[in-house]
Structure formats: structure tokens, C-alpha cells
Structure 1
């Protein structure tokens, strides 16, 4: 762990309120971690349910180890509690497929370790001045750790989706929305400059910084994500068997693996079924399509005579207010997400029908830009002009380049602390197990 303490100056913050925010964020993350690791028996925690994912018990101890390294040691300057396990829980040292062979902490020991670290950190927080050092200004590193745990909670939820056997998690369905789909299927986003990224969001991570001006030509974008029903039309039209729609690497991928539909779908008796968290059910046509790779999203868009939006287009659609010219924190404004704005935080175990959450719409009427499904964009994961790695290169910098595609907006599995209008996710274009869907766009001159 190499710290590089360089981050833009932040505005002074009330330390009492800031500590309360930290305690709330850390507590919410730990409650979710405990839910995800207590709902199955010990053999399920130590098993590897897919070579793409770690055993759940690895994530549990990794969460505690990162908290110890960054808060107990880096912030508090305290002696390491378990230095001998650092290498076991180094995500770069051990690929996921090999982690079951490591001498990992047993579930009870992993829980005790994570709990011990958390108790120490809450005591440390009380005596830590939250200014004067880039790492602690506005409690940045505490927010980073809360986001890190929530990101691993999403990873563990993906593991739950991949595991075989009966359902271990339950949640109510998203609230019904009368006439969910908006009347317009697409909206025009005017061309011109807008402010992309941020320089003043205290807990924004390095790849979201700095704020800078982008010139984006006018374009049209879907008012809602592409639905299962719309995607079924692509499948029925032979989309998986027509090379015209596919990037060469994507075509090779689907032929090699015999892919003919989104992950977890199967055809039975003339109907499409899916498996979701241990339950088999009909594929609901009005929900955003889920578990498709970037190649599948790109192929659908080509088939539909459209394309994926660039990352800059997506963020302009989500944040730009044409009336004022400013960029909002979220599509609906600057207020933190509430239950009426977006489907976040694992309140539900799937996306809401396309067009839901009208309160969360952008000024131009684009819905569900935050929550429900991660949205693939056309863009490679690249640094912004003036990017500086902080507090370590391995968070973002080592992933920059054409190998990874950008996803934006978050999913139902993302906590609000780890989801903003500026938040950037990235993954390999072959990935299908993640909670990803997409929406499409087209050039304005093609209208």
C-alpha cells in the first residue's frame, strides 16, 4: 500500500456532522456485510461458487484488512494487528480463481477480526482531526473505506446470484409505478459544453476528478434502459447468429461459449425463464435487461440502428441542466438519493420496471440514470485531463486503457454512498455476471 497524498482542497466541514456521516456510512456497510454472510451456512461461505468470484469468506476478511491498513495503520499510525494476513487478502497478488487454495481465516475468525478492527476504528475516529492532511480532509479515507465495503457487498451479492441452491436472500419488489414508461422513448440532449467530473465532492474517488469542460455535440438518448421485451426481439430476430451486429472479439466470445441469450436466461415451453437468487421465474418484459456483456449491448444497439452512448454523453444526460448550464450532483438535483429517486442499496433484489422513479428524472426527462442497472457506455476507461492517483495507483490507474469499458449509474445492488452522477465503474467487455444493462443513443443529425 503506497500512499500518494495529493487531492484537491476541500471546503471546511462541521466535524461533528462529518463523524456522524462516517459512523452512519460504516454502520450501513457492515450491516449489509453481515446480512450477506449470515444468510448461508459455513460451507457456503468457504466454497467458491464461480471461478470469477472469491469465496464469501475472503471478501469478509479482505474488508477488515483494508480497513485496518488504511484507517488503523495509515490514519492512526498504529501497529499492524495481523500483518501476516496482508498478502492473503491482497487482490492483486492472488487472482480470484486461486483464493480458495489459500490458508484463509475461517468464518468465525474472519468475523471476529473484522469486528475487532471496526471497534478500534470507531474509537480512532473520535480522536482524529478531520482536516490538515489530504488523506483525512473531509474524512475522505473513511468515506473511501465505506465505499470499498459497499463495493464488496455488491460483489458478494453477485456471488449469491451465481451460487446454486435455494434462495438465501429475500426483499420486497420495487414499488409499482402507474404508467411507468414515459411517453417519449428518447430525448434530445442539446450540444455544447458541460462540466464533467468533480473537484468538490468530498468522497469522490480519484478517477472522478478533476472537473473539466467537455464539448458534446447534440445527441438523442433513450428515456429508459432497454427492456427484456425489447431485447427478446433481438434474440428472436437471430441477433446471436448474425455476425453483422458483433465486434469481432464479441462474435468469437459468443461462438466459443455458445451464448444465445443473457446470462441466467433459458428457453422452456416457448417462454423465457430466468434464475434470480435461487428462484426460477418468467422473464418480465418490462424490466431493464440485465446480465449482458458490453459486446451484447453493442450488438443490440447496432441491430436497432443505434449505438451505445459515450461516457461523456451519459454524464451530460444525467447531470447537465440546460436551464442553468450547471452540472448537478444527480439527475434530480443536489440532494442525496431517497427511496423515491432511485432503486439503490439492495432494498430490492432486481431492477424496477423501465421508466420507474419519475422523481429521479433528469431535467430533460431521462429516467433511471441512477440505480436499477449499471449501464455500459461506448467508452474505454481513461483518466480525465489533470488526473492524479490518490491515494494509491491500484484503485484506478492500473486499469486505464482500452481493455476496460466504462459503466455508469449504479444498480439496485449499489449503495448510495458508492453512487454519484460522477461515479465511474469499469469492467472487461466480456463480463456478464455483473448487474449491467444499457440504454442506446444516436446522433442528432440522424434524427
Structure 2
């Protein structure tokens, strides 16, 4: 005689339709089906959020599976385990009885196990004459066999989602790092571009990210950041290519200049013609301005080349570039340079280089017919990248050094002549001595 298998829980526990569905699925499994129990447990652990299981309930499920002696769960063998609460507590790392009962209920609700309660609610097994179990009351593990494929698919989906989330996080992190550093490079290197607009767009995109964001939101923000990255990268790449092209052109120009033994030096090597060539509109347009030093001129060097500007400074002292620019602004009206010409030079060259240009013009005022027209000419050339203040200052320095050398040579020659006259006696001193002798003879003093 076979005892009726219970389908409802013992005591005051209610019966639900979901539990009936779980029992129906377990009853329909093929008896030849065999599932590795620990692989099934790993799939359930991986997909626990989708299934609705908790960490504590999985610890209890692990304990229940350990009471099944075989490594596989098969429809042919018995799938009901019947450990007592004390045995489960020991294998579940000593959790309390109340916690155990609560999480056993979670396993039943999730459809991972089925209660097969005895009439009095105890868990036990009744064996037959041959020692085989005829009837067992406890927890039926058949739902794990029936839903093994489902658990495997859920675990694969969770792993794929986790991988996609990790990849989009990496993508987002790299985009954020690249954009921030490329914008900083563009600002620090003064690359032409609307960097503030890029920074505003970046901050707006990143501002949409909450502390915990879904993969879909991360992908949307990452797509937006990649668009910003592409624009910034293209702008920097274009600038780098243009710099490489300019460098190649400069190298070619230097090679052509140096390879011509009959070529005459430009305004950088001819002090006497430096300012005229800078002002001449017929100056060669292929002057290699890019080969000049990129650093700014030292203030001391400029003052050595243009000492006349000191007369325009308050107290005849210039200690800073601000004092230098102020002195140039005071010198401008005396040179006949209009305010508009000065402002245009400041906008194109910058205040310091415009002031250097004024000081150089003041130093050689006698060589320039129209100071205002000359300044406008240099401003136009600076706008086209064909003018630098370096040649002007260096030409003035060389001119001053040459003049000082000539003056020193003249003084040395004068001293040498005087010394020679002192040693040998000059013709003039001899004539005076002879006249004095004749006078003394006429007066009878001789």
C-alpha cells in the first residue's frame, strides 16, 4: 500500500497557486533526467536575484543538497531529504531557528523546493523490507531538476549582463579620463578651439550619472561622451598635423637658405638695415619667422637695446613689463602714432610685444619717416605671422655693440698717440720752444 503524497504544508502555513505550479512541474520531469547538483546550485547562486532567493536561503539550500548522497539529482532516485532543524542549523553555520524557518519559506516561495510534510509535521523516512525508502517526509528537490535548464539560462544572462555592465563602466571611465586630459592639454597648449564649450558639454553629460546607474543609462552617457571625445581628438589631431607640416616647411626653408653660398643676410644679420627691412612692404614673405626663439624677450635685453624708452618712464626707471608698457604708451603720442594704430598693435601682438616695437621705433626715430604707418605695416605682418620683435631687438643690440667697439677703438688710438708724443715730443711743442728761444735772444737773456 502506497501512502498518499502530501501536497499542502503542515500547520497554519497557507497553500498558494505558485506552489501547485511548482509541484506540477516537478511531477512532469523525465525519470531519466540527471542534473549535477553542485552545477545546478552554482547556476541558482548566479541567478539568485532573478529567482528571488537570498544569501541566507542559498546557504540553507546548500545544506539541503549536502544531505542528498549522490552528486546528481535524478528523477529515478529519491529527491526528498529529511534533516531536522538542528542538523540544518549546524550545516548552515549556526543560524537561529527563526532565521532558518524564515528562509526555508523563501526557498518554497521561489519554487526551489517543495514541502512534503508528514501528518504531524515531522521529517522522517519509512523504509521497506529491503532497507529501501518507501516514503519520505521533508523537502523535495525535484524542482531543481525540472528547472535546471531555466536556471542555466538565467545564469548565462546574468553573466552577460554583468560583463556588459563592466565593459560600459570601463568605456565610461576611459572616455572621462581622455576628455578631461585632452581638454586640459588644449587649454594649456593654447590650441585654437572652443574648449569651454567642450567642458560644458562634458560636465552636463557626467552630471546625469546618479550614484547607482543602470547599464542602459551608462551606455547612453558613454555614447554622448564618445561623441565629445571624437570631436576633441579630431581637433587636437588636426592641430598636431598642422604643426608637423609647419615644421617640415621650416626645415625646408632653412635648408634652402643655408645651401646658397651667395645669399645675403637678412635683417637678422644686418644691423644697419634691420628696421628698414621690417617696415618694407617688399620684404620677402618666406622669412622663416618660426625659426626664431619661442620664448619671450628678457626685459633687461630690451632695455639694453632700446635705452631711449627710459626717458619716457616715470622716474626714468623701468622695473617690470607693466612699467615698460606704460612708458611705450607715453612715448606713442610724441612719435605721432595714433591711438587706433596702437590699439590694433596691442590686439594683434599683445601689449608687451607692441611696446617693444614702439621702443625699437623710438630708438631709431631718424630712420623712419612715418611712425604710424610703419607700426601699422608691422601689425599687418604680425597678423600674417611674418613679423617678430626678436630681429629688431637683436639688430639694435648689434648696432650698439658695434658703436661701442668703434668708440673704444678710437679712445685706444688717442691714448697711444698721446703716449708716443710724450715719449718722442710733438712738432708743435718743438716750434713753441724755438720761438721762445729767439725771443729770449733778442732781449739779451740768452
Same fold (TM over 0.5): no
| More helix per residue | 2
Q: Which has the higher contact order (CA 8 A, sep 6+)?
A: 1
| More strand per residue | 1
TM-score range, shorter chain: under 0.3
TM-score by length of 1: 0.18
TM-score by length of 2: 0.18
